[in-house]
Amino acid sequence: MSEFEFITSTGEKIPITINVRRGARNITLRPKAGDNRHIEITRPWIASNAAAIRFVEQKRRWLERFFANAPVRRHLQSGDWFDFLDMRVMVVYDAGVRGNKFVLNDDGTHTLFVGGDAGLIENRVRMFIKTELLKHIQEIIHTVPRDFWPRRICLRDTSSRWGSRSTTGTMSFSWRLGLAPYDVMRYVVMHELAHTKHMDHSPEFWATVRELYGFGVERARRWLNTYGAQLHQVL
């Protein structure tokens, strides 16, 4: 149990860690979401812990908003459902399965059978999503002119960006796009491909995005802005 806690208006007790740094000039705080919700405080050695806690209270409204809006991650267990690119998928643990087995059901849903260690179900699901998502991204990229193609594609678990393109030609995507509708994932791919020609968000850039994506680009963009945070609630 932490020595200090921030108690939200809903009664949630969030641990506070206070670090002392001689080179620090001010008290700073960093709230952390995810599985281990906590607040990290850095204070100068001349400031007291009491002063640090008072600073937290001064930032209460901001912290309340941060934790209220931060997604609480839902962990998958055998028998749970998740969405994968417009497909409704149930994950089922089967100790007799080697690797993953993806099956189409009669009702149009899918079942993902995973084996191995029962404690690594989520790892196996993430591996499945990453492997299949990468295939879909490569297929989409191959539909545009070759001069848009990246030199390399990689998947990351980012919290602030859905995709990025470096000046060296590497294109990165959040693997959580596999939990989004297919058209939304495709929009992010086209968005990053457009950066091949325009490394900004100028009118010319958005014109290129619309040209690459086609009809419905604004709908996909709105979905991501409205519901994108929900993609961080699973796994």
Indicate whether 33 pLDDT > 90.
no
The reported pLDDT for the residue numbered 121 is 94
Regarding whether 201 and 103 lie in a shared domain, the answer is: yes
Q: Would you give the DSSP letter of residue 74?
A: B
The CA-based diameter of the chain, rounded to the nearest angstrom, is 68
Query: What is the arithmetic mean of pLDDT over 81-106?
Result: 94
Regarding whether 87 and 65 lie in a shared domain, the answer is: no
Asked which of 45, 69, 93 is the last residue of a domain, the reply is 69
For residue 76, being part of any structural domain is answered with: no
Q: Which of 21-35, 62-76, 180-194 has the highest mean pLDDT?
A: 180-194
Instruction: Give the total number of structural domains in the chain.
Output: 2
Q: Which of 56-60, 68-72, 93-97, 156-160 has the highest mean pLDDT?
A: 56-60
For residue 11, being part of any structural domain is answered with: yes
Asked which of 46, 69, 92 is the last residue of a domain, the reply is 69
The reported pLDDT for the residue numbered 46 is 92
For residue 163, being part of any structural domain is answered with: yes
Of all residues in the chain, the percent with pLDDT exceeding 70 is 98
For residue 74, being part of any structural domain is answered with: no
For residue 60, being part of any structural domain is answered with: yes
For residue 75, being part of any structural domain is answered with: no
Reported as a pLDDT band with limits 50, 70 and 90, residue 2 is: low
Regarding whether 92 and 65 lie in a shared domain, the answer is: no
Regarding whether 35 and 134 lie in a shared domain, the answer is: no
The reported pLDDT for the residue numbered 37 is 86
Q: Give 136-173 pLDDT, tens digit per residue.
A: 999 999 999 999 999 999 999 887 789 998 888 899 99
Q: What is the extent of the structural domain holding 31?
A: 4-69
Q: Model's pTM, two decimal places?
A: 0.74
Regarding whether 25 and 132 lie in a shared domain, the answer is: no
Indicate whether 119 pLDDT > 60.
yes
Regarding whether 50 and 119 lie in a shared domain, the answer is: no
**H-type alpha helices, the chain:** 49-58, 60-69, 121-141, 182-194, 203-213, 217-227
**CA-to-CA separations, 86 to 43, 79, 126, 159, 179, in angstroms, rounded:** 47, 19, 17, 22, 8
Query: What is the arithmetic mean of pLDDT over 176-202?
Result: 96
Regarding whether 124 and 28 lie in a shared domain, the answer is: no
Regarding whether 222 and 117 lie in a shared domain, the answer is: yes
The reported pLDDT for the residue numbered 234 is 83
CATH number at residue 162: 3.30.2010.10
Regarding whether 37 and 9 lie in a shared domain, the answer is: yes
Which residue reads 């100068």 in tokens?
A: 44
CA angle, residues 169, 173, 178, in degrees to nearest 5: 145
For residue 177, being part of any structural domain is answered with: yes
Regarding whether 109 and 191 lie in a shared domain, the answer is: yes
Regarding whether 117 and 41 lie in a shared domain, the answer is: no
**Number of CB atoms found within 10 A of residue 26's CB:** 9
For residue 197, being part of any structural domain is answered with: yes
Reported as a pLDDT band with limits 50, 70 and 90, residue 1 is: very low
Regarding whether 126 and 90 lie in a shared domain, the answer is: yes
